[in-house]
Amino acid sequence: KYFTLPKSVKVDKMNTRENMILRCLVNNNNRKMTQRKLAQATFFSLGTVNKSLSILEKLGYLKKDFTLNFKEVPFQKPKRAIILAAGYGMRMVPLNVEFPKGLIEVKGEFLIERLINQLHEVGIKDITIVVGFMKERYEYLIDKYGVKMIVNNHYSDMNNLYSLSLACRNSGLSNTYVIPCDIYAKLNPFSKYELESWYMVSKEKVYNTNITLNKKLQLKKVKKGNLGNRMIGIAYLDEQDGNILTTKLRNYVEQPKNNGEYWEIILENSEGYLVNGLLVPPDLITEINTYEELRELDENSNQLDNKIIKLISSVLCVDNKEISQIKLLKKGMTNRSFKFTCQSKRYIMRIPGKGTGELISREKEAKVYHLLSQHNIGEKVLYINADNGYKLSEFIEGARNCNSNSQEDLTKCMNYLRKFHNLGLKVDFTFDLFEKINFYEGLRQGTSNYRDYSLIKARIMKLKEYIESLDKKVALCHIDANADNFLLKKNGDIVLIDWEYAAMQDPDVDIAMFAIYSMYERNQLDNLIDTYYKGNCPDDTRLKIYAYVAVCGLLWSNWCEYKNTLGVDFGEYSFMQYRYAKEYSKLVLDVLEKKNA
């Protein structure tokens, strides 16, 4: 006999440990296994395995020869699988510039194809894939594997809770596997038979998790900052739980507050989670979130020779393997950038965001950076492509962004900006505010979301004659002079970065831009003007800056509406730009009317 069982064990019912052992036995095709092998597979002690086997034998689930009694075991047959593959996979930068995360190649296989084949091995052919980002790349799977495909058009502004709901519109979650697409499983994690619902977690302990597993294999919520079990993301939902969770899912997606939630929220209850945990070894299943995780798992993957990595290697004259610690930076309004380390030095690679080719002339930007390099201004740029906008620059160590609510920071930044303006640098192109308003308006197409847009646009155009009648100093201006682009170093130096929109303009435009980016109220705007002009700003100049606030507000309001058509929402920032256009155009026109009365 392979198993030696204790003689007296009190049997109440089968618990989660027994479920795991039964699942382990059926996944081994009912082959005889030693207690030690079961202990290794389940992470239980030999004593726990012995006790659980005795319970299973007394319940009639094991025959006298200790093989499974299929007639007695309450197995269910999984019928369906849902693979979630809609998201950007932002941490996969720069790989996600070329392909979606489900099509990461590991050891000659695409992740999503490996998952489909593993599902087929256990007899599951009813597979639904929810796609979004680069959805066209997945289309071939319909013909190759007979899968169903659903498109999530809101992949950029809703999380996978919404994706799962799309897959459940016509059918529920009963007897269903829910699977993320970025999983590599060495052994098949699916089974022809299941006993109960479960959510898979790794034995590996990590900090960035919501789940911990107790001794009874129950999932519990872990407090932020505490260690818990790594969440794998694969789950099985039996018939009863699946029906309950289908209703819960549909109720959750009807509430806009849940748009940003992961689907696992429906598993939660007041005590912890509705399902138990299925514990797996750390090396059995790997979630691939980053370029380096792919390299660690398969250093021969063809996708490691990514075009952006090749570019960096070429510029820095290094091997791909010397590029490490790749980390996505905070997603900007226009670009996606990532930070990395190479030979103990840090760099930033900029990848232009969606739609930027319509908004920015990369050729003009390259000219600006060439001019700035001659005066040691801005970040140190090692490479810039005037066609696609890729830019590689040195990371500025020991620097922080300007705090627009700090008078000390404000004084330092305005002094720097004034000195830059006084250099009088010149390029052969201009940032025409009124031309850009019409340009962005044309890009967004259709009518504005603001009901009184035509009225406010007419007011702004009245300011055009006033602004053009004024004598103005013209020089190279930053145009995008917001507080985040001023970096203050520990040694007191200031670096003004991100010159994408730079062109010839009135320097007072940069003051207006700083104010509306900071969403200043009028008293804060006046303080900004006084800081730049050291308390000596003429009234006519102040009024002109008010006019620029109005004009630039409408300009960026149209910019935001265009970006919104691409699925990018800037929230309060977008709303406030329109308010600047409305309130300051009225203010300036009222003053001008009184002057002319």
Q: Which residue has the higher pLDDT, 267 or 1?
A: 267
Per-residue pLDDT band at 330 (split at 50, 70, 90): low
Q: What is the CA radius of gyration of the chain?
A: 30
- Using DSSP, state whether 594 is helix, strand or coil: helix
pLDDT for 541-568, tens place per residue? 999 999 999 999 999 999 888 888 776 7
Instruction: Please tell me the predicted confidence (pLDDT) of residue 40.
Output: 75
Range of the domain at 51: 1-75
Cα 230 to Cα 225: distance, rounded to the nearest angstrom? 13
Last residue of a domain, one of 287, 321, 352: 287
Question: Which of 255, 287, 319 corresponds to the end of one domain?
Answer: 287
Q: Is 293 inside a domain boundary? A: no
Token pair for residue 44? 């239980």
Domain identity same for 390 and 406: no
Reply yes or no on whether the pLDDT at 335 is more than 90: no
Mean pLDDT score of the chain, rounded to an integer?
88
Q: What is the pTM of this model?
A: 0.76
pLDDT of 65 over the 80 cut: no
Q: For helices 46-58 and 35-42, what crossing angle results, to 10°?
A: 110
Collapse the DSSP code of 261 into the 3-class scheme (helix H, G, I; strand E, B; otherwise coil) and give the result. Answer: coil
Are 428 and 519 contained in the same domain?
yes
Q: Which residues pair with 80 in a beta bridge?
A: 176
The DSSP secondary-structure symbol of 294 reads H
Structure confidence at residue 97 (pLDDT): 81
411 and 478 share a domain?
yes
Q: What would the two tokens of residue 275 be?
A: 């399902």
Query: In the prediction, which pLDDT does 391 show?
Result: 94
With respect to residue 300, please indicate whether it lies within any of the assigned structural domains: no
CATH number of the domain where residue 513 is located:
3.90.1200.10
Find the range with the poorest average confidence among 7-11, 81-85, 273-277, 486-490: 7-11
> Percent helix, strand, coil in the chain (nearest 5)?
45, 20, 40
Domain boundary among 335, 363, 394: 394
For residue 245, is pLDDT > 50?
A: yes
Q: How far is CA 74 from CA 163, 382, 558, 581, in A?
A: 31, 65, 61, 68
End-to-end CA separation in angstroms for the chain: 107
Query: Cis before residue 94, ω within 30 degrees of 0?
Result: yes
Instruction: Report the C-alpha gap between 381 and 391 in whole angstroms.
Output: 7
- Give the side-chain half-sphere CA count within 13 A for 504: 11
Contact 201, 279 (CB under 8 A): yes
* Domain presence at residue 324: yes
CATH of the domain at 39: 1.10.10
Q: What is the predicted pLDDT for the residue at 31?
A: 61
Query: Over 80: is that where the pLDDT of 296 sits?
Result: yes
Question: Is 136 a member of any domain?
Answer: yes
Under DSSP, the state recorded for 358 is: H
Burial of 596 (0-12, 13-18, 19+ CB in 10 A): exposed
Are 84 and 71 found together in one domain? no
Residue with the bigger pLDDT between 55 and 377: it is 377
The identity of residue 199, as a single letter, is: Y
pLDDT higher than 80, residue 332? no
Give the Cα separation of 474 and 370 in Å (integer). Answer: 20
Give the count of domains, the chain: 4
Q: Output the pLDDT for position 545.
A: 97
Q: Give tens-digit pLDDT for 114-162.
A: 999 999 999 999 999 999 999 999 999 999 999 999 999 988 888 899 9
Rounded to whole angstroms, the Cα distance separating 90 from 97 reads 10
Residue at 84 is within a domain: yes
| Percentage with pLDDT > 90 across the chain | 57
Q: How far apart are CA 515 and CA 265, in angstroms?
A: 40
Compute the Cα dihedral for 398, 401, 407, 413 and give only its sign: positive
The span from the CA of 530 to the CA of 536, in Å, is 7
Q: Which H or E element spans position 427?
A: none
Q: Is residue 311 located within the same domain as residue 260?
A: no
Q: What pLDDT, on a 0 to 100 scale, did the predictor assign at position 8?
A: 42
Same domain assignment for residues 233 and 91: yes
- The predicted pLDDT at position 30 comes to 52
Hey, which bits of 367-517 come out as E strands? 381-384, 391-394, 399-401, 475-477, 486-489, 494-496, 503-505
Q: CA-CA distances (angstroms) from residue 329 to 92, 94, 100, 182, 408?
A: 12, 12, 19, 21, 27
At residue 196, the pLDDT reads 85
CA–CA gap between residue 358 and residue 562 (Å, rounded): 10
Task: Give me the amino acid identity at 488.
Answer: L
Q: List, as one string, the DSSP characters of 66-123.
A: S-B-TTTS--B---EEEEEE-S--GGGTTGGGTS-GGG-EETTEEHHHHHHHHHHHTT
Please state the length of the chain.
597
* Rounded Cα distance, 246 and 255, in Å: 15
Does residue 453 sit in the same domain as residue 341? no
Co-location of 412 and 322 in the same domain: no
What pLDDT does residue 29 have?
60
Kindly state the tokens that stand for 542.
């102040």
Q: Could you tell me the CATH number of the domain that includes residue 244?
A: 3.90.550.10
User: How many CA atoms lie less than 13 Å away from 486 in the CB half-sphere?
Assistant: 26
* Mean of pLDDT values over 307-323: 92
Task: Tell whether the model's pLDDT for residue 263 goes beyond 50.
Answer: yes
Cα 532 to chain centroid distance, Å, stands at: 37
27 and 156 belong to one structural domain = no
Q: Is residue 508 part of a domain?
A: yes
Is residue 235 situated within a structural domain? yes
Q: In whole angstroms, how far apart are CA 253 and each of 130, 162, 216, 233?
A: 16, 6, 32, 19
My answer on whether 256 and 172 are in the same domain is yes
In a domain, 256, yes or no: yes
Residues 372, 438 within the same domain: no
325: domain CATH number?
3.30.200.20
pLDDT at site 223: 85
Give the range with max mean pLDDT: 68-72, 151-155, 229-233, 365-369: 365-369
Does the pLDDT at position 13 exceed 50?
Answer: no
- For 7, 26, 41, 64, 66, the CA distances from 3, given in Å and listed in that order, are 12, 16, 16, 11, 7
Q: Largest Cα–Cα distance in the chain?
A: 107
Model confidence at 214, pLDDT cuts 50, 70, 90, reads: confident
Average pLDDT over residues 374-400: 93
Instruction: Tell me the average pLDDT across 104-121.
Output: 95
Q: Is 345 helix (H, G, I), strand (E, B) or coil?
A: strand
Residues 374, 420 within the same domain? no
Q: What is the pLDDT of residues 445-462, one digit of tens each?
A: 788 999 999 999 999 999
